[in-house]
Amino acid sequence: MSYAVTPPPISALPILGSNQLFPIHRAFCVGRNYAAHAAEMGNVVDREAPFYFLKSPQHVAFANGKDPVPVPPRTDNYHHEIELVAALAKGGSGISIDTALDHIFGYAVGLDMTRRDLQQDSKDKRRSWDTGKDFEFSGLCSALCQPGAGARPDQGAISLHVNGDLRQSGNLADQVWSLAEIIADLSTLYTLMPGDLIFTGTPAGVGPVVAGDALVGTIEGIGTLEVRLI
Ligand code: MN
């Protein structure tokens, strides 16, 4: 059988030191995983349970530092959120915290780009966040690095500079939910699959960016992500 319309290309990320690509199955995102960011958004973090939203795999892009990334339409408050991204090599359901990190393929530096005005309007109206969070180029990632090269999900400086000014600065050790806890919890909601990505939440300091801005995100031991907006 042939397809009635052209199927979408597989969204994929490059892998440092490899000529293979990592195909993206889904992109899960964790909300409010650093207490200081939750506070700046007017929320108190609860340890009851982490919460999630998703980005379409087609909306996640490798940011190679050369090709500019377009600012999306219909926003006057387009925000950066620098995040550790984990990529899964193995899936499963009911994954234990103890074995969760065995499922990791690698890590990337990511940006959860957000139309904050649309997200806020959705919150106010108790509607879904989709138009605020899931749009073309809303998930930007560096190349993946594989564990063993000094990459750790639980410790390390994470920062974002915009036009040379430090905007976000934190440490992975300050995450409310560890990556192992997130994988274990997500695996009670979904059957996780190879190719799944997890955006693990952002530290404090989110703010607006506009066309012409240059963003540089860094996570200690994992890499650097460079984005120029048009
Ligand atoms: Mn986020």
Closest CA to 222 of 176, 155, 161, 139: 155
Identify the structural domains of the chain with CATH numbers, from first to last: 12-228 (3.90.850.10)
Go through the chain and tell me how many residues it has: 230
Distance 224 CA to ligand 1 centre (A): 18
Rounded distance between C-alpha atoms, residue 189 and residue 44, angstroms: 23
Contact yes or no for 78/91 (Cβ under 8 A): no
pLDDT digits (tens, 9 = 90+) for 116-144: 999 999 999 999 999 999 999 999 999 99
Phi, psi of 184 (to 5 degrees): -60, -45
Contact yes or no for 180/187 (Cβ under 8 A): no
What one-character DSSP code corresponds to residue 64?
Answer: -
pLDDT digits (tens, 9 = 90+) for 165-223: 999 999 999 999 999 999 999 999 999 999 999 999 999 999 999 999 999 999 999 99
Instruction: Give me the residues near ligand 1 (ion), CB cutoff below 5 Å.
Output: 81, 112, 202
Q: What is the pTM of this model?
A: 0.96
Distance 2 CA to ligand 1 centre (A): 38
Distance 82 CA to ligand 1 centre (A): 7
Distance 192 CA to ligand 1 centre (A): 20
